[in-house]
Chain A
Amino acid sequence: MTSRLHPFTALTAAASAAVVTTAAAYWPLSVAAALAAVFLAVRRGVAGRVLPAAAVILTPLCLSLLVLHGLFFPEGQTVLAQWGPARVTAEGLGFALELGTRTTACVLVFLLFSFTVSVPDLVSALAGSRIPPQFGFVLASTLTLLPAVAVRLDQIRRAQETRGMVVGRGLLSRLGTLRLQMVPLVLALIDDAGSRAQALDARGFGSPGPRTSYREVADPPAQRRFRAVALVLAAAAVAGRIVASWPAGAPS
C-alpha cells in the first residue's frame, strides 16, 4: 500500500473533482470522472459498498430526471416520439443525460471519499485545525453513521427473520421488508444516541475550551501542494464557467 492520503487531501480531491465536473457541464468529462471514481473504488476494495449506495441514491434520481426532462421538456424541438402531452425530445434527453451524468459523478466521488477516508484521521486532522471539535465529531459521526445504520438494519432484519419474516429475492419483497425496518431503525438510532450522549458528556466532550489530540496524522508537503493546486483548479473552473456563460446570460 502506498503512503496514506491525509484526509484533507482526499477531501480536497473529491470536492475539486465535483466542482470541476459541475462547472464544466460536459457529459463526457462527467462520465470520465464517474468511471475514475468507480476504478478507484475497485482498487481500494470498496466497490462492493460504494456501488450499491450509489445505486440507492442515483436510480430514483436518474429515473425522475428522465421522466421530467426526457418526456416534458418545453424547449425541445426534435420530437422523437409523442403520446398526448408527453413528448420525447432529443434536447430533453440530452439535458437529462447532462444532469444525470454530472450528479452521478458528484455522488460517486463523495461516496468514494466517505467510504475510504479514515474517520479517526479526519477527526484528528480537524481537531488540529481551527475548526470547533464538536464540528469534527458531528462530521465523524455522520460518516460513521452510514456503516452504523447498515449494521443496525442488519440486526433488525436478522431479528425479524428469526421471527418468521421471509425476505424474498424480488425488489418488491425487499422494499416491503424495508418498510417494516424503518421505524425500528429510527427508534434504535435515537435510543443509541441518547445513551451515548451521557457518556460523551461525562468524558468531557461537551466542555468548551481547547483540546489536544492523541493521534498524529502525517501531512507531507507534497500533499499540501497538491491541495493548493486542486483548489486553484476548482476556482479556475468556476471562474471559467462564469466567464463563458456571461454574454449568453446577460441581457443584451
Chain B
Amino acid sequence: MTATTRTALQIRIEAFTFHGENTPVLSGAAISVTPGSLTAVLGGSGSGKSTLGKLMAGWLRAGYAGAFRGSLELEGTLLEFHGAPDDPRINPAEWSSRVAFVPQDAAAMLSSVRATVAEELAFGLENRATPRDDMLRAVERTAARTGLSDLLDRDPATLSGGELRRLAVGCAVIAEPDVLILDEPLASLDAAGAAQVEDLVRSLRGTGTGVVLLSQAADRLAGEATHWTVLDGGTVTAAGTPAQLAGSAELERAGVIGVGGPGVGGPGVSGPGVLGPGVAAGARGPAINDEILSPVPVAAPGPGPASLELRGVGFGYGPDPRHRGAPAQARVLHDVDFAVDPGEIIAVTGPNGAGKSTLLRHFNGLLRPSEGDVRVCGRSIAGVPVGTVAASMGLLFQHPRDQLFERTVLREAAFGLRQLVGKAEAEDRARAALAAVGLSGTEAAHPAELSASRQRLLALATVLARDPAVLALDEPTVGLDRHGLEALRSAVVRAAARGAAVVMVTHDLAYARMNAHRVLELNDGRLREV
C-alpha cells in the first residue's frame, strides 16, 4: 500500500517572478501528486495555472525564465531554490521524461517537422536514442492507449482538435512519465472528444501515472479528482476534496465554471446555462445577474430585409494541394438555406468537423459558395471584397491567434476603425469595446501576453468595436472563465438589443439552448432546426 501513499512529485512555491517583472505570478502555493491520483488545480483565466504547470514540468526553469524561491521534490530527491545563481539546474529533457506536460494549445507540443502521427510520437524517443525496435513497440503501445492506432500514417496537420489533443498526450506519455500535467485538456472538444480524453486519463491513472489537471471548469473530469486546489491571483486560496470545496466562495471568486459540484453540467459545462442561480448571485452586481437569470430577450423582426440570408449554399473543398493526386474532399455544405433577422440570436451546433467554421466563413466571403448565394443586409456579396463586406459583418474566429496580429491591445481593437468611423472616433470606439469585455487597463499590453481567455475577449472586442449589423461568432465560449462568459453574454445581448443579428457556432448544445432564440444543427452538410 505504500505505492499509493508515496509522493511522486511535490512543489512548494514561496514566489515565482518572471524576469523583468516586479510582482510574483505565483506565491504561497503547494501541490503534491501521488501515483495514480488525479489532482485538479482550478482557477479562472490568468490565475497562474499554466505557469504552475510549466514550472512543475520543467518547461519554465528557475533561473532561465524567472526567479523561483521554493522547492521541487521528485521521487524523494529534493531540489531547493532560493532565487540565487547557484540554485540547482533542471535538465528539461531528463525532467520531462519523469514529469510530462501537455500545453493548452496542443499544436505547440508538436515538432512540426514530422510527416506522420507515428513519427511525431517517436520524436522524443529518437532524441533519446531509443533503438528502433523499441521505438516501434512504444509507438504501437502508445497509439493503442491514446486511440490513435488508425491514424498513425496521417499527417499531424490534418488532425481534428480532439485527435490533436490525444496526439499531444501520446507524445507526453510515450516516455512513460510518473506524472502527467494536462492544461485545459477538454477545451474546444465536443462530447465525444472529451469522453476519449477522460477515458485516457482514467487508463493512465490505472497504470500508476499521477495526473494533474489544470482547468477553469469544475467539470466531470475535475469531479473525478481526489484533490482540488483553487488558484486565484497566483495564490492557493483553498484546497481539499471536491466534496469540501464544491460551491465554496473561493471557487466562485476564482471565476471557475460549473461550481455547483462535481458532475454538474458534464462535458457541456461551459456556459451560464449550467450556472445555477446560487452561482450567479453575488457574482458581479445586479445588472449582470439579471441578464444571466433572465432568458434572452426575444427579438422583434423589423420590416426590412434579413440581416443575413443564405440561399441554396453548397460548398466543398478542392483536393489538398499538399498531397498530389488526392481526391477532392467530400462536400461540406449542401443546399443550406437560412435567414437571420435583425435582433435575432441564432446558434449553430454540431460535432467537431461538421463544417460549422466553414459555414461561418461564407458569411463575409472568406470562402465563396460553389453554388447558391449569400446576402448581407439584402445585398448579395458575390464578387464583393471581404474588406467591404466587413463593414456590416463582424467575424470572430475560432482561435484568437487567427484574429490577433497587432502589437498592443489598443492597436488591435482599433485596427480598421479609422476607415470606418474616422480618426477622431476610432480610439474612443476601441476603448469602449475593450471596456465592454472587461479589458480596460490592458491597452498597452501585447495580445500574446494575455491569458487565453482574455485573448478571446480581445478578439471579441475587435468585432464589437466595428458595431456590425451581423455578428458571426465561432466557438465564442471556449476557454472563457465565468467572468469571461458573463462579459460575452452581456455583449451579445446588448448587440442584439440594438438590432444586430447574431450567429454563433458552438459545439455546446446546453449553452446554445440557453442563449439563442433558435438553435440549428449542422450535420452531414445540412442545417436543420433543433
Contact = CB atoms under 8 A, between A and B. Distances in A.
B132 interface: yes
A164 B390 contact: yes
A221 B11 CA distance: 56
Interface in A205-246: 205-207, 209-215
A199 B114 CA distance: 14
Interface in B4-43: none
B293 interface: no
B404 A159 contact: yes
Given A162-B366, A206-B92, A213 B113 contact: no
A113 to B, nearest CB: 16
Contacts of A123: 113
Contacts of B54: 198
A198 B59 contact: yes
A158 interface: yes
B59 A163 contact: no
Interface in B385-416: 385-388, 390-391, 394-395, 397, 401-407, 415-416
B404 A204 contact: no
Given A202-B101, A205-B127, A214-B135, A166 B388 contact: yes
Interface string B75-95: 000000000000000011101
A200 B397 contact: no
B108 interface: yes
A120 B119 contact: yes
Contact of A165 (B96, B123, B416): B416
B466 interface: yes
Given A161-B386, A163-B416, A214 B108 contact: no
A158 B125 CA distance: 38
Q: Is the interface of A mostly helix, strand, loop or mixed?
A: helix
A118 interface: yes
A156 interface: yes
A9 interface: no
Given A188-B405, A214-B139, A140 B113 contact: yes
Given A195-B105, A199-B103, A161 B385 contact: yes
Interface in A40-62: 44-45, 48
Contact of B129 (A159, A164, A209): A209
A120 B321 CA distance: 18
Contacts of A200: 111
B420 A164 contact: yes
A137 interface: yes
Contacts of B397: 159, 162
Most buried by A among B100, B127, B131, B397: B127
Interface residues of B, number: 69
A212 B385 contact: no
Given A191-B448, A211-B127, A162 B93 contact: no
A209 B129 CA distance: 8
A213 B131 CA distance: 9
A167 interface: yes
A228 to B, nearest CB: 28
Given A158-B366, A162-B364, A207-B93, A144 B113 contact: yes
A174 interface: no
Most buried by B among A161, A165, A211: A161
B115 interface: yes
Interface in B105-157: 105, 108-116, 118-119, 122-132, 135-136, 139
B92 A201 contact: yes
A63 to B, nearest CB: 29
Nearest to B322: A147
A117 to B, nearest CB: 12
B127 A199 contact: no
A191 B126 CA distance: 26
Contacts of A156: 405
B128 A207 contact: yes
Nearest to B115: A120
B415 A199 contact: no
Contacts of B269: none
A203 interface: yes
A159 B405 contact: yes
Contacts of B125: 212, 214
What 10 A-B pairs are tightest by C-beta distance, nearest first?
A166-B387, A204-B127, A184-B405, A120-B115, A214-B122, A164-B416, A204-B93, A202-B96, A161-B386, A163-B416
24 contacts: A44-B324, A118-B115, A119-B115, A127-B126, A144-B113, A155-B401, A159-B403, A161-B385, A162-B364, A163-B466, A165-B390, A165-B416, A167-B387, A184-B405, A184-B406, A187-B407, A195-B105, A203-B96, A203-B127, A203-B171, A204-B124, A211-B126, A214-B135, A215-B115
Interface of A: 1, 44-45, 48, 118-120, 123, 127, 133, 137, 140-141, 144, 148, 155-156, 158-168, 181, 183-184, 187-188, 191, 195-196, 198-207, 209-215
